[in-house]
Amino acid sequence: MKAKHSIFAAQGFRRLHESKSAPGGRFVRSAGAGERKQCPSARGWLAFVLGGFSLILMLAPALPAAHPTAAKATATYKITAIANIHLRDKSSKDAGYVFGHLLGFERAFTLEGAAGKPVIFYKVNDYQYIEVTPGWSNSSEKRYLSLGYRTTNAEALRAHLAESGFDPQPVHTLADGNLGFEVQDPEGHHIEFVQYVANSRTGRLRGKLLSSRRISEVIIHTGYQVMSKDAEDRFYSAALHFPEMWYGGMKPSVVDWFDRRTVNGPDWIEYMLRAPSNAPLRERGVINHFSLGVYHMHAVYRTLVARGWKPTQKPQIGLDGKWQLNLYTAAGTRIELMGPHPVRKPCCSAMRPGGW
């Protein structure tokens, strides 16, 4: 049976929309009712909010004070969220099965990409898209192509990165009509910054193609292989001032993952440390991943199975204390579904306020 409202926006939650009153233009929730009773009751939701507020108060003394340089650097622009993830997949049919059928995202439009290859845009919400280039066929081709962030002022951010010693491209009109520019981080990852424009392809689709079949309505983080934390910190910490959010590892004494949160929003980047540069193909697919926010993991698991997904695992609690579930594209890129808050004490370090 087709749901009348998405699983993410079930009872007590609503479709995400952009609000000018939200800090950094981030998503807030509006009123409405849903079919599936997967979200907490009013009393449970109040307890959740108060509990989260208490956690923030407890952790606040441990947070470092804002550096004056960071405040000055971000005065004329904001980096509010992840805007897009660009992947290669085996075929448009394979991408349609995972992103369209299983995950429930609408295919918004297709544009011509590098070397004339098509780029298919799947809409997660009005301000986040998954971009897929079909045709991946061998292990020598990268599957995780680029990461895009949303900014409020592309020109100011570009100027700041240039002053910080990086080599950003000029701000230009992107293929979808938005403004933006590209830059490489210290390890060569392709990063795009996007300033949304009302009359762009994405702007004209605002409020449209928001399928009720979506198992999630938000990209919350992404992670990729990092060989040197110090090198990446030149970009994410020294230049962009992303604060530390959490770190952990399979062993308490070893850091395998290090998270930094966008300075004006809840999304985060995860450094995937410790993997060898010549990691096997399957391991690289696990490492270079992105994550969708899900409130009720077991309900989502049942929905995916009902849609024909063949699970390789059941929902589990990760070392960060959050519910998690992994599925993969046909090319082997991991899509991590993740709950909103720890249900168990995270290992290794305190979970600083942040996240969705």
User: What local confidence, expressed as pLDDT, does residue 140 receive?
Assistant: 78
Average pLDDT over residues 295-300: 97
Percent of the chain surpassing pLDDT 90: 73
β-bridge partners, 107: 122
How would residue 253 be classed by pLDDT, with cut points 50, 70 and 90?
Answer: confident
Question: Domain residue spans in the chain?
Answer: 79-204, 219-338
Q: How confident is the model at residue 354 (pLDDT cuts 50, 70, 90)?
A: low
**Between 55 and 198, residue with greater pLDDT:** 198
pLDDT at 192: 98
Mean pLDDT along residues 173-180? 98
Are the folds of 79-204 and 219-338 the same? Answer: yes
What ranges make up the beta strands (E) of the chain?
16-18, 27-29, 79-89, 106-112, 118-125, 128-134, 144-151, 172-173, 179-184, 190-195, 219-225, 244-248, 257-261, 268-272, 289-293, 316-317, 323-328, 334-338
Which band of pLDDT confidence, cut at 50, 70 and 90, is reported for residue 73? low
**Per-chain mean pLDDT for the chain:** 84
CATH for 79-204, options being 3.30.70.20, 3.30.565.10, 3.10.180.10, 3.40.605.10: 3.10.180.10
Question: Residue 291 pLDDT more than 80?
Answer: yes
Three-class DSSP category at 32: coil
24 band by pLDDT with thresholds 50, 70 and 90: very low
Q: What is the homologous superfamily of the domain 219-338 according to CATH?
A: 2,3-Dihydroxybiphenyl 1,2-Dioxygenase, domain 1 (3.10.180.10)
Question: For tokens 């690289």, what's the residue?
Answer: 284
Report the alpha-carbon distance of residue 202 to residue 218 in Å, rounded: 16
The whole-model pTM stands at 0.82
Contact 328, 335 (CB under 8 A): yes
Q: pLDDT at residue 355 above 80?
A: no
d(Cα 165, Cα 28) in Å, to the nearest integer?
36
CB contact at 8 A, 92 and 134 = yes
Question: For 327-352, what is each residue's pLDDT tens digit?
Answer: 999 999 999 999 999 999 999 999 88
Please report the pLDDT score of residue 71 as a whole number: 54
Could you tell me which of 276, 242, 238, 237 has the C-alpha nearest to residue 256? 276
**CA pair distance 173, 203, nearest whole angstrom:** 14
Per-residue H/E/C for 189-226:
CEEEEEECCCCCHHHHCCCCCCCCCCCCCCEEEEEEEC
Q: pLDDT tens for residues 28-43?
A: 333 233 333 333 333 3
Q: What residues pair up with 79 in beta bridges, in sequence order? A: 151
Largest Cα–Cα distance in the chain?
55
Q: What average pLDDT does the segment 248-271 reach?
A: 94
Instruction: Provide the pLDDT confidence category of residue 70 given band limits of 50, 70 and 90.
Output: low
Q: Could you tell me where the beta strands, DSSP code E, fall in 273-328? A: 289-293, 316-317, 323-328
Going edge to edge, which strands form the sheet with 323-328?
A: 244-248, 257-261, 268-272, 219-225, 289-293, 334-338, 323-328, 316-317
CA-CA-CA-CA torsion sign (79, 214, 257, 184): negative
